[in-house]
Amino acid sequence: MNIRPAEPSDRPAVVKLDAACFPKDAWSERSWADEFTRPDRQVLVADAPTAAEGAGRLAGFVVLLVPPGADDPVDLLRIAVDPADRRTGVGRRLLATALERHPGRTVLLEVAASNEAAIGLYAGSGFTDISRRRGYYAGGEDAVIMRRAGETE
């Protein structure tokens, strides 16, 4: 499993994978163009194993907002794995690689309270619940705010 910073040429595949993974709230082409160009964004992608059917496709991606100030927390904006590759450790490795790139920094994220898969992934990667936003999502679902404390705290 190769995990690497996204290249501009990965954008169409990322847009497609995002639409497949978030059918109700996929980011627009324009939003993705921003994610790929803003200096405070980092997009990492996981290449699907080359031996697998459909070699050359992406197995997953993760998007971070990394503020320039070293004391400001990093936000994990999005992570997704192709349904065909789930429960094989891709999400865990994508997240670990993203976190390794920012040693010692606090990382925050928000996740729908019903998203057991993502909450399990985050909890197993050192994140803890710090608060809940009632009715945060369209449809009224709560958001859980999770945090991985930085080394300096």
Catalytic residues: 110, 122
Q: How far is the CB of 97 from ligand COA (least distance, A)?
A: 12
Residue type, 149: A
Residue whose C-beta lies closest to ligand COA = 91
CA 58 to each of CA 53, 55, 78, 89, 135: distance values in angstroms, whole numbers, following the listed order? 12, 9, 15, 14, 33
Spatial CA neighbour of 115 closest among 11, 16, 47, 24: 24
* Structure tokens that stand for 92 in this block: 């865990």
Phi-psi region of 54 (alpha: psi -120 to 50; beta: other; left: phi over 0): left
Give the residues lining the site for ligand COA (CB under 6 A).
Answer: 21, 78-81, 86-92, 111, 115-118, 120-121, 124
- Residue 83 or 104: which CB sits closer to ligand COA? 83
Residue type, 105: R
The length of the chain in residues reads 153
Q: How far is the CB of 20 from ligand COA (least distance, A)?
A: 9
Q: How far is the CB of 15 from ligand COA (least distance, A)?
A: 15
- Residue 31 or 152: which CB sits closer to ligand COA? 31
- Residue 70 or 123: which CB sits closer to ligand COA? 123
